[in-house]
Structure 1
Amino acid sequence: MTIKKYAVIGLISISAVAATFGMGHKASAAEVGSLTTESKVSFTKQAEGTINPPVNPLDPDKTIDPDAGVKPGTDGPLSIAYVSEFDFGTQEISGETKTYNAKLDKVKVGGEYVEAPNNVQVTDNRGNNAGWNLTVAQNGQLKDGSARNLEGAEIAITKGTAVTKTGTGVTAPSTNQQIKLNPNGTASMVMNAAADQGMGQWVDKFGADNTAAADAVTLTVPGKSAKYADSDYATTLTWTLSDTPQ
Structure 2
Amino acid sequence: MTFKKFAVVGLVTISAVAATLGMANQASAAEVGSLTTDSKVKFTKQADGTVTPPVNPVNPDQPLDPDAEVTPGTSGPLSIAYVSEFDFGTQEISGETKTYNAKLDSVKVGGENVETPNNVQVSDNRGNNAGWKLTVAQNGQLKDGSARNLEGAEIAITKGTAVTKTGTGVTAPTVNQEIKLNPNGTVAMVMNAEANQGMGHWVDKFGADNTAAADAVTLTVPGKSAKYADSNYATTLTWTLSDTPE
> Shorter-chain TM-score: what band?
over 0.9
Where does residue 83 of structure 1 map in the other structure?
Answer: 83
Counterpart CA distance in 1 for 2:221 and 2:66 is 35
Counterpart CA distance in 1 for 2:4 and 2:133 is 88
Helix, strand or coil: the match of 2:80? strand
* 1:199–1:16 CA distance, 2 compared to 1 (3 A): closer
Helix, strand or coil: the match of 1:73? coil
Larger mean CA deviation between 165-174 and 9-18 belongs to: 9-18
Where does residue 110 of structure 1 map in the other structure?
Answer: 110
Counterpart CA distance in 2 for 1:208 and 1:238 is 23
Helix, strand or coil: the match of 1:198? coil
Helix, strand or coil: the match of 1:146? coil
Where does residue 15 of structure 1 map in the other structure?
Answer: 14
* 1:97–1:36 CA distance, 2 compared to 1 (3 A): same
Counterpart CA distance in 2 for 1:221 and 1:121 is 28
Pairwise CA distance, 1:9: 8.4
Letter in 2 for 1:15: I
Alignment of 1:28-47 (within 5 A): 28=27, 29-47=29-47
RMSD: 2.2
* 1:159–1:25 CA distance, 2 compared to 1 (3 A): same
Where does residue 224 of structure 1 map in the other structure?
Answer: 224
Helix, strand or coil: the match of 2:212? helix
Pairwise CA distance, 1:22: 4.4
Matched, 1:58 2:66: no
Helix, strand or coil: the match of 1:81? strand
* 1:15–1:204 CA distance, 2 compared to 1 (3 A): same
Pairwise CA distance, 1:10: 8.5
Aligned residues: 245
Letter in 2 for 1:93: I
* 1:6–1:235 CA distance, 2 compared to 1 (3 A): closer
- TM-score normalised according to structure 1 size: 0.93
Q: Percent identity?
A: 79
Deviations 1:171-203 (A, max 9, x none): 100000000000000110000100000011000
Pairwise CA distance, 1:33: 2.0
Where does residue 179 of structure 1 map in the other structure?
Answer: 179
Counterpart CA distance in 1 for 2:61 and 2:22 is 56
Where does residue 237 of structure 1 map in the other structure?
Answer: 237
Helix, strand or coil: the match of 1:59? coil
Matched, 1:149 2:152: no
Counterpart CA distance in 2 for 1:9 and 1:101 is 84
Letter in 2 for 1:207: G
Helix, strand or coil: the match of 2:76? coil
Deviations 1:120-170 (A, max 9, x none): 000000000000000000000000011000000000000000001111111
Letter in 2 for 1:129: N
Helix, strand or coil: the match of 1:211? helix
* 1:20–1:138 CA distance, 2 compared to 1 (3 A): closer
Counterpart CA distance in 1 for 2:9 and 2:88 is 95
Where does residue 194 of structure 1 map in the other structure?
Answer: 194
Counterpart CA distance in 2 for 1:242 and 1:115 is 29
Counterpart CA distance in 2 for 1:25 and 1:231 is 95
Counterpart CA distance in 2 for 1:177 and 1:60 is 20
Pairwise CA distance, 1:20: 6.5
Matched, 1:100 2:100: yes
Counterpart CA distance in 2 for 1:167 and 1:32 is 43
Counterpart CA distance in 2 for 1:143 and 1:59 is 36
Counterpart CA distance in 2 for 1:95 and 1:9 is 101
Larger mean CA deviation between 11-20 and 202-211 belongs to: 11-20
Deviations 1:60-86 (A, max 9, x none): 000110112111100000000000000
Deviations 1:2-44 (A, max 9, x none): 9x89986895575265256447767444332222211111100
Counterpart CA distance in 2 for 1:193 and 1:46 is 19
